[in-house]
Amino acid sequence: MLLLAATAGAQQSNKPRSSGKAASAAAAPNPYPQRFAALCAACHGANGRGEMPGTPVLAGQHSFYAITQLFLFREGRRSNEAMTAVAKTMTDADLRGFSDFIGTLPPVPPPPPASPPDAARMRKGAELAQQHKCVFCHGADLAGGQQVPRIGGQREDYLQVSLQGFKSGKRPGYTMAMVGAVSEVTPEELDTLAYYAAHFTGEAAKPPQK
């Protein structure tokens, strides 16, 4: 439907009679930065990284992934009371507008931890990420791409809940890839993967010296 709407708009803009309207629309300011600030920033932060527990970081996230999640919330296929209430009022144009804006937010690193991450746990997380092919989809830098989310630097509590949801079947995905990926992972290992991704700084943990 979004593609059809975009195609129809493009065809209409080719007509001489509508060229003035098209130029006017092109000159209109983008309303979604302000709408994001008014509607989303209280939970997700003005720069896409908020401080509310359990609320995902949107900074550095991809627009394709964002629009997919907004669609799932709007259609009731993904469950979260607050997000469903917001998304169910959105038109297709809103889904595209908000997700396109989210896609412009640069990554924001988490605040420096009070103490360095546990080196042994980071090494184990790196091993699990390789073993269960996390890096195959999310990339060695855990930055994702297209419909695959950036998970490096994401909130640990959000990652824990998401991974547990995929394993239990409560969290729907764009495909069944995540359900299959975590099916053989233990709850303890899921927590280790969440810890690893949340504390990931762009360099994989080095194996222990022999």
- The topology (CATH level 3) of 119-198 is Cytochrome Bc1 Complex; Chain D, domain 2 (1.10.760)
Of 207, 18, 68, 64, whose CA–CA distance to 125 is shortest? 207
- Domain borders along the chain are 30-108, 119-198
Alpha carbon of 174 to those of 33, 44, 101: distances in Å? 26, 22, 21
For all residues of the chain together, what is the average pLDDT?
87
Reported as a pLDDT band with limits 50, 70 and 90, residue 24 is low
- The topology (CATH level 3) of 30-108 is Cytochrome Bc1 Complex; Chain D, domain 2 (1.10.760)
Per-residue pLDDT tens digits for 97-149: 999 999 999 999 999 989 999 999 999 999 999 999 999 999 999 999 999 99
pTM over 0.85: no
Q: Is the pLDDT of residue 25 over 60?
A: no
pLDDT reported for residue 202: 79
Same fold flag, 30-108 and 119-198: yes
Element of type H or E holding 94: helix 92-102
In contact, 78 and 172? CB cutoff 8 Å:
yes
* 93-98 LR contacts (CB < 8 Å, sep 24+): 93/5, 95/2, 95/67, 95/70, 95/71, 96/2, 96/67, 97/30, 97/31, 97/32, 97/35, 98/32, 98/35, 98/36, 98/40, 98/66, 98/67, 98/70
CA 57, CA 149: separation in Å to the nearest integer?
A: 11
Map residue 193 onto helix, strand or coil: helix
* 164-169 LR contacts (CB < 8 Å, sep 24+): 164/190
Q: Is the pLDDT of residue 15 over 70?
A: no
In contact, 57 and 154? CB cutoff 8 Å:
yes
Q: Is the dihedral of CA 66, 40, 111, 105 positive or negative?
A: positive
Per-residue pLDDT tens digits for 183-195: 999 999 999 999 9
